Amino acid sequence: MFSGSSNQKRALPHCDLLVALPPLAAGQKGVCPRCSNTLISRWSNPRTQPVMFAISALIMLVLANLFPFVNMKVSGIGRQLTLPQIPSVMVTEHFSSLASLFLLFVQLIPAACMIFIILLCFEVRMAFRLRAFLAKTLFALRAWGMAEIFLAGVLVSFVKLMAYGDIGVGISFLPFCLFCLLQQRAFQCIDRRWLWDNIMPMVSPVTNAIRVGEGGLNQGIRACSCCTLILPAAEQVCPRCHTVERARRHNSLQWTMALLITSIMLYIPANILPIMITEGLGSRLNSTIIAGVILLWDDGSYPVALVIFIASIMVPTLKMIALAWLCWDAGGGRGVDRERMQFIYEIVEFVGRWSMIDVFVIAVLSGLVRMGQLMSITPGIGAVLFAMVVIITMFAAQMFDPRLIWDRVDSHIEKGSTVDGK
């Protein structure tokens, strides 16, 4: 009864429910009735709006790199820190791995995304393949831009250092805050469906009648995970973006479990080994993640102790449990209702990257607190291991195919209807 005309726009989101897209006015967005994901959003200026935000964000990022970012004064000795100094200090401390992560996640990836948005929306003349590559990379990189998490890390390190001396912000601090806001806004104004239709308008090659309001796999169709084009399930190569994939991500559960087990194995030493070494006035203190939380709590910085506890201990642990639960449920376990599993999946996808906050706190502290004999902070090997745990669990969540959550509901409905039919 829902079968629409062949030129009607349809979407097949994460939950694999075929949805008809109504015509929208500017400022409106279409949401999936089953999983509540945004399917389409109409902006009044889909071309100029993201470009303006992206250009402003880039200008702010350049300004943020030119001037002092934060400063600290301890018993007469002052130190200023610029953003480019943070990785260079870590390199001199032989932590090039942390320096590269900082450069990549806080500066290079967000900047690259902004450049991609400008090139794609401004219709700069370039080959179709290059445009498709940029669009593909843009959405794949989105989760790896962590400028706003770094900013939260800076605020946490301020609270940590308040007990030791005077902390102040430099000229670059405000441009960096604006950069975080503007780059978020640029991403918000980009509609994936509009962008791909703009790169290469294409009508879905599915010719047989498909029923809106039913699962995609049962009808022999799938959506391209990159450009959202609806394809026959048997067709492995997308004709528009050339992404090669199957109806369901190949060995999704095996990959997720393998990465999950790797991250658990790394999480144990990450908690035992020191993440930060504080040296001052002849004493040397190795602090682990949990010791850092206890120290903050004892100092009376309860909110910050809670932030670090939630981000570094609760979130990674719960994320690992949630991923194992999702795999067990999708593999045929007796799970709870689908909406709740979808909600758990989205939480895992959203909060996972915020665990990086502790790594950024260490980056700021080791860059700023270098007062020679008086007090200096250096990163410990635990910080590298912890960063790896966060990155590997992010990959594990990305390998999980959320459509598996809904597949059993659809197959159940299918079975029920055939039984009724008999």
Give me the least distance between CB of 39 and Zn ion, in Å please.
8
Is residue 62 a contact partner of residue 50, using CB atoms and an 8 Å limit? no
Indicate the SS3 state at residue 338.
helix
Give me the least distance between CB of 137 and Zn ion, in Å please.
14
Chain positions contacting Zn ion, by CB under 5 A: 13, 15, 32, 34-35, 224, 226-227, 229, 238, 240-241, 243
Cβ closest to Zn ion, residue 158 vs residue 345 = 345
Indicate the SS3 state at residue 81.
strand
Q: Print burial letters for 15-28: b (CB count within 10 Å at least 16), e (below 16).
A: bbbbbeeeeeeeee
Give me the least distance between CB of 295 and Zn ion, in Å please.
45
Give me the least distance between CB of 321 and Zn ion, in Å please.
24
Give me the least distance between CB of 104 and Zn ion, in Å please.
26
HSE-CB at 378 with a 13 A cutoff on CA atoms is 14
Cβ closest to Zn ion, residue 93 vs residue 407 = 407
Cβ closest to Zn ion, residue 160 vs residue 249 = 249
CB-count exposure of residue 283 (10 Å: 0-12, 13-18, 19+): exposed
Cβ closest to Zn ion, residue 240 vs residue 249 = 240
Indicate the SS3 state at residue 376.
strand
What are the residues whose beta carbons fall under 8 Å from the beta carbon of 263, sequence distance 6 or more?
Answer: 316, 320, 388, 389, 392, 393, 396
Is residue 358 a contact partner of residue 311, using CB atoms and an 8 Å limit? yes
By 3-state DSSP, what share of the chain in percent is helix, strand and coil, each rounded to 5? 55, 15, 30
Residue 91: in which H helix or E strand, if any?
Answer: helix 85-92
CB atoms within 10 A of CB 221: 23
Give me the least distance between CB of 97 and Zn ion, in Å please.
34
Give me the least distance between CB of 240 and Zn ion, in Å please.
5
Give me the least distance between CB of 128 and Zn ion, in Å please.
13
Cβ closest to Zn ion, residue 174 vs residue 200 = 200
Tell how far CA 209 is from the center of its chain: 37
Which token pair is 205? 């090659």
Task: Give the separation between CA 138 and CA 142, rounded to whole angstroms.
Answer: 6
Indicate the SS3 state at residue 165.
coil
Cβ closest to Zn ion, residue 14 vs residue 370 = 14
Task: Give the separation between CA 377 and CA 89, rounded to whole angstroms.
Answer: 11
Q: One-letter amino acid identity for 345?
A: Y
Task: Give the separation between CA 166 and CA 73, rounded to whole angstroms.
Answer: 5
Task: Give the separation between CA 345 and CA 350, rounded to whole angstroms.
Answer: 9
Cβ closest to Zn ion, residue 134 vs residue 307 = 134
- Tokens 């700023």: give the residue: 368
Cβ closest to Zn ion, residue 13 vs residue 50 = 13
Give me the least distance between CB of 345 and Zn ion, in Å please.
12
Cβ closest to Zn ion, residue 94 vs residue 412 = 412
Give me the least distance between CB of 376 and Zn ion, in Å please.
51
- Tokens 């009864």: give the residue: 1
Cβ closest to Zn ion, residue 119 vs residue 238 = 238
Give me the least distance between CB of 212 and Zn ion, in Å please.
12
How many helices and strands (H and E) does the chain possess? Answer: 16, 12
Cβ closest to Zn ion, residue 13 vs residue 175 = 13
